[in-house]
Amino acid sequence: MKTVLICGYYGFRNMGDEALLKSVAGLFKEIDPTIAVEALSYNVKYTEEAIGVKGFSRKSLIKLIQKLWQVDCVVLVVDLCYKMSPVQNHCFITLVLSCWLSF
């Protein structure tokens, strides 16, 4: 089974970010229901109960580095694209697509 780790500003009870997480996780499940979707979260219990996505604590750098080696794909979901230059935006999109294509 493939595992995706979605990284963003999750578990802080910010409804905009939490809705974005639920949407992105849903897209992965729609493409392949067998994909295990996890999210880096400040509050793992809240992410799992309120959003329905398995959470992984962002509080331990060592455990986070270990997790990055265990997953098949890391997806960075950020709302900073509007602040990026066209070149930065292109590089970000290329990074995400290359991750997806290698998945």
Q: Assign a CATH topology to domain 3-102.
A: Hypothetical Protein Ychn; Chain: A, (3.40.1260)
In the block, tokens 């578990």 appear at 11
> What are the structural domain ranges in the chain?
3-102
Within the chain, which residues score under 50 in pLDDT? 84-95, 97-98, 100-101, 103
pTM of the shown model: 0.75
Q: Which residues of 32-58 are buried (b: 16+ CB within 10 A; e: fewer)?
A: eeebebbbbbebbebbbeebebbbbeb
